[in-house]
A and B are shown apart, each in its own frame.
Chain A
């Protein structure tokens, strides 16, 4: 298994500002992902964070809005840029281990006013 921490756990932000979410894993992992989840709803994959190269974004998500860094195999950041109320959501970091299991961080609950 993997233990994942995220910072901040929650934040309230003003529209037009940006927030950077940090994800730290207790072991080196190759595959790291960022998801978005509306409370009580399903998860939507934003992007795969690639170590040493640009992130791979899913349809509907772009680098200018959600820049991602992955400086090493245990850490990644997701920035939500130029925020609007529609960006209010829970943002989840996850990693996949070698036996196909995916583990999730506790999430960052973002509210944009």
Chain B
């Protein structure tokens, strides 16, 4: 079965600095990988996905993520953080051997300090 780990509960970064939110996964088949963001009292918003092709994928709001098959990772990155990026970030995986179900990581709370 598939699983997702986000090793950091909380990430703090100063505004203007680069940010990284880590995600590792485990699947038996090919992974479909996703990042979602949740702002306070809001639903989840899709940021980006990796299905196939280029390992570096670009998404909404200037975010990007790099798929690393050997390290089974899909870290979310942004070159210059904004205070408005402060939110809860979820990594998710779908294993193409296990149908349509997504498995979500535990979430990482990002705080961007002015």
Contact = CB atoms under 8 A, between A and B. Distances in A.
Interface of A: 1, 31, 40-43, 45, 48, 58, 92, 94, 96, 99-107
B88 A100 contact: no
Contacts, number: 45
A41 to B, nearest CB: 7
Nearest to B101: A45
A83 to B, nearest CB: 22
B104 A100 contact: no
15 contacts: A1-B46, A40-B109, A41-B106, A42-B90, A45-B101, A58-B101, A94-B44, A96-B100, A100-B32, A100-B51, A101-B34, A102-B102, A103-B46, A104-B45, A106-B42
Query: Dominant SS at the B interface?
Result: strand
A105 B43 CA distance: 6
